[in-house]
Structure 1
Amino acid sequence: MSRDSRYLEDLLHHDIPLTRALGLRVEQWENHELRVKVPLQANINHKSSMFGGSLYCASVLAGWGWMHLRLREAGIDDGHIVIHEGQIEYPLPVVDDAIAICSAPSDEAWDRFEAIYRRRGRSRVTLHSRILAADGRDAVRFTGQFVLHK
């Protein structure tokens, strides 16, 4: 596990106690892509698949964690990250451990977000995360609008 991954996992477990109950682990932070894992057994439902609320949490936390690490790289440490809005789709059941993947927005979107924040002290960016089924298809698709404010 990289230093950034360990840092984020410790932060999440300290600042957002629910992450401990979910069994969340930060798997990887590389090339501005974050992967977080939640185990099926800690999040199982009555149909022996993963509970939708746990999948939603993992998807949001992948975005929140992505924002935190990316802001840290940009030297921005004076803001608070909040989820403003989120939409989720569950096209397939998740019947194994879930890996939520949050990839970077376009460079243009990130640059605009950062410039607005530095100028106004508040900005928002849309992030996408997904959870894959065992066959590689999207089992969960999440789109969230994250806000950073001083």
Structure 2
Amino acid sequence: MTTIEPEHDAAHALEQVLHHDIPLTREMGMRVIDWHNQTLRLHLPLAPNVNHKSTLFGGSLYCGAVLAGWGWLHLRLREAGITDGHIVIQDGQISYPLPVRSDAIARCDAPELAQWEKFIATYQRRGRARLTLHTCISEQDSEEQAVRFVGQFVLHR
């Protein structure tokens, strides 16, 4: 019998949520690569997101960056046992220092632990809290950041 890792289950469940609740992610061909050690990685294929310059469309990159943050928060809240909130993006700043000429990986890492703990405490006390997350996008075979995003996400009841 094959054992499926809980992180694999979480990644698969997130992909289903994204494709069901945000149909654009299906059309973009977005896939959840993995959720490991509180890092989320999403795959953005070039073909359905290509622009007139044969690079990944800036709007698709923005969506990928936002959804990496949204997905990170969704998964991390479930790990913390919090399922009664709604996640929305409140503000986002993005830069595109390099073109993306191939399939890409969007990544969101955990914020500082103190920031996370304050976010959770505020939500439990007030039913609303804000968290700033940083995401980046690189070409699939590169570590060089082609896109940098900082977003403020709100969790509310």
Q: Which TM-score tier does this pair reach, normalised by the shorter chain?
A: over 0.9
Q: Distance in 2 between matches of 1:122 and 1:93?
A: 37
1:96-111 pair list within 5 angstroms: 96-111=102-117
| Runs (4+) off by over 4 Å | none
- The TM-score normalised by the length of structure 2 is 0.93
Q: State the SS of the aligned residue for 2:64.
A: helix
Q: Which position in structure 2 is the counterpart of 1:113?
A: 119
- The TM-score normalised by the length of structure 1 is 0.98
Confirm or deny that 1:149 pairs with 2:156. Answer: yes
Q: CA deviation at 1:135?
A: 3.8
Structure 1: stretches of 5+ with no match in the other structure: none
Q: Distance in 2 between matches of 1:6 and 1:136?
A: 24
Confirm or deny that 1:140 pairs with 2:138. Answer: no
Percent of aligned pairs sharing the same letter: 61
How many matched pairs? Answer: 150
Q: CA deviation at 1:7?
A: 0.3
Q: Structure 1 residues 73, 135: CA separation in 2 closer, same or farther (over 3 Å shift)? A: closer
Confirm or deny that 1:21 pairs with 2:34. Answer: no
Q: CA deviation at 1:130?
A: 0.2
Q: Which position in structure 1 is the counterpart of 2:4?
A: none
Q: Which position in structure 1 is the counterpart of 2:73?
A: 67
Q: Distance in 1 between matches of 2:98 and 2:57?
A: 12
Q: Which position in structure 2 is the counterpart of 1:8?
A: 14
Q: CA deviation at 1:26?
A: 0.2
| CA RMSD, Structure 1 to Structure 2 (Å) | 1.0
